[in-house]
Amino acid sequence: MKQKGFTLIEVIISIVILSAVSAVILNLFVKSANINLKVETESLASLYCINAIESHKNDSVTAPTTLQFFYRENWQEVADEAQAEYRIELQMKPQPQNKYLIAVTASAFNASDKCLATCQTDIIKRDKAVLSW
């Protein structure tokens, strides 16, 4: 009498195939989570670079100036570099050809000095009035 059902070899092969497919799918979830974390960090770095530019665009700059700001892992500002997970470097350089033009670059770095984001702009200053491009 012939019985209906799966043999032991068929069950083992299906489990192996299912395990391989599951491992690939779970690996994609892990990679996706890592990419999300990286993109979120870079987005916040860009936002804080832009904030640094905006909050210092009225500064009177007559010589090349570099300012540094330090942040904890959750982007709370700290005064001590030793406690910092992130650093923003704001560079303002008056252009010699045009006494009203200032080139501004803000760069965000992590604790291992890897650049996360860079924002650049030019600021036009005329008689203490500031217009940003």
The two structure tokens encoding residue 123? 């600021």
Establish if 128 belongs to a structural domain.
Answer: yes
The pLDDT value recorded for residue 133 is: 44
Establish if 89 belongs to a structural domain.
Answer: yes
Residue matched to tokens 């990286």: 38
Establish if 4 belongs to a structural domain.
Answer: no
Establish if 124 belongs to a structural domain.
Answer: yes
Residue 31 pLDDT grade (very low, low, confident, very high; cuts 50, 70, 90): very high
Establish if 15 belongs to a structural domain.
Answer: yes
Q: Which domain holds residue 96?
A: 9-132
- Report the run of H or E that residue 121 belongs to, with start and end: strand 115-126
Establish if 120 belongs to a structural domain.
Answer: yes
The pLDDT value recorded for residue 29 is: 94
- Overall number of domains in the chain: 1
Kindly state the average pLDDT of the residues 89-112: 89
Gap between the Cα atoms of 53 and 60, Å rounded: 13
Establish if 3 belongs to a structural domain.
Answer: no
The pLDDT value recorded for residue 49 is: 95
* 67-94 pLDDT per residue, tens: 999 999 888 999 988 889 999 999 999 8
Give me the percent of the chain exceeding a pLDDT of 90: 65
Establish if 106 belongs to a structural domain.
Answer: yes
> For residues 115, 116, 122 and 123, what is the CA-based torsion angle, rounded to 10 degrees?
-110
Q: pTM for this structure?
A: 0.72
Other CB atoms within 10 A of residue 39 CB: 10
Residue matched to tokens 């032991």: 8
